[in-house]
Homo-oligomer: A and B are copies of this chain.
Amino acid sequence: MKQTEISQLGEFGLIDRLTKDFPLRNPESKKGVGDDAAVLSFGDNEALVTTDLLLEGVHFDLRYVPLKHLGYKAAIVNFSDIYAMNGTPKQITVSLGVSSRFTVEHIEELYEGIRLACEIYGVDLVGGDTSASVTGLVISITCLGVAAPEDVVYRNGAKPTDLICVSGDLGAAFMGLQLLERENRVAAGHKEGFTPDFAGKEYILERQLKPEARKDIVALLKENGVKPTSMMDVSDGLSSELLHLCRQSDTGCRVYEEKIPIDYQTAVMAEQFNMNLVTAAMNGGEDYELLFTVPLVDKEKIDKIRGISMIGYMTKPELGCALVSPDGQEFAIRAQGWNAFQEESSRPADKND
């Protein structure tokens, strides 16, 4: 039989190929693969389901990620997927594969992070599975959420002329990772007593190690009477997510480089690392901000909400997806989000449905 390397298809190609022969048979299954979460109908409300698998050595590196932060983040990335459907996360299940180098106290630290995230976001831990692993740590979390049927926002509802909005700022989590990796390399060169200097870099570190899900943005949009026409969270990078929204909504887009929100610390670090700042913001990933579109008529309402940037607009599909530079030049947007199958990398990334 012909054998195809997984890297030839990439993650999304593989998922498309694997899931094409799975029809939805149950009327309760409203939306399957292909959004931030599945949508199930169990009664008056829709149930939302999302799941993330985190593997040591692929998605996280315990040399610089404390277990408590890892637990917190593993929960948050799932909550973020539920908010990206305009829903509220309610329950999680946590499955762990644990190798013998971990003690009970290690796992308790991990759970302490999960517990904290659950407490802050009002989510219940309702189940899971714990098992030995012959290698590293494996964390699989599934999150359930709810939303009124009329509230659910998919990826496919954007229309040409819709405004493209993003919450918070982008690229900071990526720069935080660069910093952690550098300090780790430097520390490895010292025999002992090396103390990394993180002063003035707290924000980008926190964005990498302890991200938050944008519960507040979902609430603010509702308060201000805005229902996005499409939405997803920025886990793989703005470029990749813009292409998802455009492909699923059958639109093109124009995004203005100078409108992309970037924090000061991110900019400083990019300069120190001699990295292109826009590339970091477009392709960095792990920001867990919300990317969404709203009809033009909602512009004034969005203007009133702090912490949301309008970065461009949707177009007809034939215009393609482009980034517009300050001098008006257009560059095609390509997904340069991390592809887990192309190379081994310590860069964490969370691949949602």
Contacts and interface: CB of A to CB of B under 8 A. Distances in A.
B50 A140 contact: no
A66 to B, nearest CB: 13
A38 B91 contact: yes
Contact of A43 (B14, B44, B95): B44
Give the copy number. 2
A132 B22 contact: no
A350 B130 CA distance: 9
B131 A32 contact: no
A113 B19 CA distance: 12
A79 B273 CA distance: 51
Contacts of A25: 122-124
Chain A interface SS verdict (over half): mixed
A351 B98 CA distance: 13
B127 A38 contact: yes
B126 A6 contact: no
B15 A52 contact: no
A272 interface: no
A42 B47 contact: yes
A224 interface: no
A156 interface: no
Contacts of A22: 115, 118, 124-125
B53 A103 contact: no
Listed from nearest, the 8 A-B pairs whose CB atoms lie closest are A43-B43, A38-B126, A140-B140, A42-B42, A53-B95, A4-B104, A132-B340, A3-B103
6 contacts: A3-B103, A15-B130, A38-B126, A42-B43, A53-B129, A53-B138
